[in-house]
Amino acid sequence: MRRTLRKHGIAIAGGAAVVAIAGGALTMTQPALGEALGVPSASATPRLSGTELDRAQAAATLSTARTVVRDANDKTDTGRLEQRIASLSDYSSLSGAALTERIASTVDTVQDVAQASADQDHADAQAAAAREAAAKRAEDAAAAAKAAAENAAAEQAAAEAQARANTPAGAKAAAAALASSQYGWGSDQFQCLDSLWTKESGWNYRAVNPNGGATGIPQALPGSKMASIAADWQTNAATQVAWGLQYIKGSYGTPCSAWSHSQSVNWY
């Protein structure tokens, strides 16, 4: 065999030094053998011919085959290629057609195993990517479920706090705290405020005067005035209390002045 062996796009270009598998082609380079096969080499080497060339090609084929077996994906069946390697290992005692046939069959099997290994590598990569994507989806779903549960718990806690604040006791506590912190009114002024709003609404945030439509704890007329504090004035006692204290401050100065006026004319 006095030419480079080419079969199914595979070029066996020599020895054990370098093996490349790319684009379906297996290529090995070794300067001396490359020169012998007509491949340019950086150094001048004697040309091989006849049986020497056949055996050199057999050696290069074995080197390639062993490299493919060594580097094959663990899931790839390399048994047939190992058999080919074994059958070619005694190449030094072979010559002629037998040697040529074994080289060719080994090259074919090298290509099959290399392709199968590459396909398995690709399948493994896809499976790993799919597992990673599934794990990420599961992680995202768990995070979303946790966030939803936390939001639901926060909404529930806020609703419960709102419900407590919307009781007469809760509204009074909110009023006392705001009267002290924002207006500096002490317990004496709160007593007047308590008397005033007990008379007006009984501290009921849903109270509505049937004779005029005054609404809520401070009996705002109309109730929509309280929207200047917040849009939830119809459902939030704290919003009504904040508006009522602001109204008292602007109109009467203090709760006791507002209470005195209410006692005199029956409104404030």
Please tell me whether residues 117 and 27 are part of one structural domain: yes
Please tell me whether residues 104 and 25 are part of one structural domain: yes
Please tell me whether residues 102 and 15 are part of one structural domain: yes
Q: Which of 124, 141, 160 is the last residue before a domain boundary? A: 124
pLDDT per position as a tens digit, 216-257: 999 999 999 999 999 999 999 999 999 999 999 999 999 999
Say if 105 falls within a structural domain. yes
How many domains is the chain partitioned into structurally?
Answer: 2
Residue with the two structure tokens 């084929």: 61
Please state, in angstroms and as integers, the Cα–Cα distance from residue 204 to each residue in 103, 198, 207, following that order: 100, 9, 5
Please tell me whether residues 55 and 117 are part of one structural domain: yes
Please tell me whether residues 102 and 14 are part of one structural domain: yes
Domain of 174, in residue numbers: 168-265
Please tell me whether residues 111 and 41 are part of one structural domain: yes
pLDDT per position as a tens digit, 181-228: 999 999 999 999 999 999 999 999 999 999 889 999 999 999 999 999
Please state, in angstroms and as integers, the Cα–Cα distance from residue 80 to each residue in 9, 69, 120, following that order: 20, 10, 17
Please tell me whether residues 13 and 118 are part of one structural domain: yes
Report the alpha-carbon distance of residue 232 to residue 5 in Å, rounded.
Answer: 87
Please tell me whether residues 113 and 179 are part of one structural domain: no
Say if 152 falls within a structural domain. no
pLDDT per position as a tens digit, 108-166: 999 999 999 999 999 999 999 999 999 999 999 999 999 999 999 999 998 998 899 89
Cβ atoms of residues 28 and 18 within 8 Å: yes
Say if 25 falls within a structural domain. yes
Q: Which of 92, 124, 156 is the last residue before a domain boundary? A: 124
What's the per-residue H, E or C state across 218-253?
A: CCECCHHHHHHCCCCCCCCHHHHHHHHHHHHHHHCC
Report the alpha-carbon distance of residue 91 to residue 62 in Å, rounded.
Answer: 10
